[in-house]
Amino acid sequence: MDIQSVLIFILVLLSINLIAVGVYVILVLKEFRETVKKANSVLDNVHEVTDAVANPVTTIAGIISGVTQSVKAVKSISSLIGDTKKEV
- What residue type is 63 in one-letter code? I
Whether the pTM exceeds 0.85: the reply is no
Q: Domain limits at 4?
A: 1-88
Q: Provide the pLDDT confidence category of residue 1 given band limits of 50, 70 and 90.
A: low
> How many domains is the chain partitioned into structurally?
1
Question: What whole-number distance in Å separates Cα of residue 41 and Cα of residue 33?
Answer: 12
Task: Dump pLDDT digits (tens) for 7-51.
Answer: 999 999 999 999 999 999 999 999 999 999 999 999 999 988 888
pLDDT of residue 54: 81
Question: What whole-number distance in Å separates Cα of residue 16 and Cα of residue 13?
Answer: 5
Rg (CA), the chain: 37
- What residue type is 59 in one-letter code? T
